Structure formats: structure tokens, C-alpha cells
Structure 1
């Protein structure tokens, strides 16, 4: 159990590091957020199965993460349709 916890914690922090390093490109930020969500999901799944808790919360977490991914993709599509790309440096706040 401790090996899985260390592995998924390492995955979580690598996802956060890639999220911070790829802050200029919106699609890469979404992919790193999904990687963080997958690592949290696996960590939660192994934690709950280790202690023989009910797995219903895992399904609620998975549903919310799918909604988060769909919302991020819809924002990405609308941003590409209006601006033509998904780089944050081309946007102006005063525009």
C-alpha cells in the first residue's frame, strides 16, 4: 500500500509541476490537470479499497472530473474559435 501511495503522490506532484511549467499553452494545461485528476482518482481508489470503504464516492469523484474535463474542452474550443490559437501570451486583458 505504501508503494502505491508514494507512486501516486509522485504522479500528482509531476502533474502539478507540468501544470506550472506549461502555463502558456492551454491544451497542455488541461492535459496536466487531467493527469493530476487521474492520479488523485487512483490514490483515492486504492485508499478506499485498502480500508474496505464504500466505492460510491469514487464514482462521484469520477463524474465531477469528467464534468471538469468537458468544461475545459468547451472553453478551449470557444477560445480557439474567437482568437485562433490557445496561447495565453497572445491575449490582451485590455482588449
Structure 2
């Protein structure tokens, strides 16, 4: 049976790939928010990977996950309000980026 083990190098590569996609993608705000959320999740996985070697309790991990969920809810509500006012989620037509 083939066994594949995830190391911290794999998680760092996932973060680098998502950062590259965030820089390249310039069309829709929804995909940028999803990529930013993936970056936050991969960064938290890297932090959890390092915390397991330090024997830090589960409370810190749960608190971090709650903050990630709150961040994603705020981003989604901002996207919904932008779509309702501008009727699209294109980054080039967004007046937020003009300032």
C-alpha cells in the first residue's frame, strides 16, 4: 500500500502556490477571496504543524479556527454588499480599487 505523508514543505509549497495565484488572478473578487482564504488556511496548517511539536493545547487551535471563520464571513458579506451595489464582482470595475 502506498502511503503519502504531508510534511511542512508541502504546506509551504501550497502557500506559495496560492500566493502566486492571488497575484496572477485579476478578474473576479470571489476567486480572490477564495484564494485568500486558502492562504489563511494553509498558513494556519503550517502554524498547527509547528505547534504540535511544542505541545500547545487545542484551545489555541480552536481559537485560530474561529478567527478564520469570522474572517471568511466578513469577506463574504463585503462581497455580497459590493455585488448588490455594483451588480458584478469584477475587480476592474470596482470603485474600491480606484482610491
TM-score, normalised relative to structure 1: 0.85
Tell me the C-alpha RMSD between the 2 structures: 1.7
Q: Given the alignment, which residue of 56, 76, 85 partners 2:88? A: 85
Aligned to 2:56: 53
Listed one character per residue, the Cα deviations across residues 4-28 of structure 1 (whole Å, up to 9, x for unaligned) are 1101111111111111111332101
- In the alignment of these two chains, the number of paired residues is 92
- How many angstroms apart in 2 are the aligned matches of 1:91 and 1:15? 23
Structure 2 stretches lacking a partner, 5+ long: 1-5
1:48 Cα shift?
A: 1.2
Is there any run of 5+ residues in structure 1 with no aligned partner, and where?
none
**Conservation of the 8 A alpha-carbon contact between 1:27 and 1:86:** yes
Structure 1 residue ranges, 4+ long, deviating more than 2 angstroms after superposition: 91-94
SS at match of 1:88: coil
Aligned 8 A contact 1:11 1:39 in 2: yes
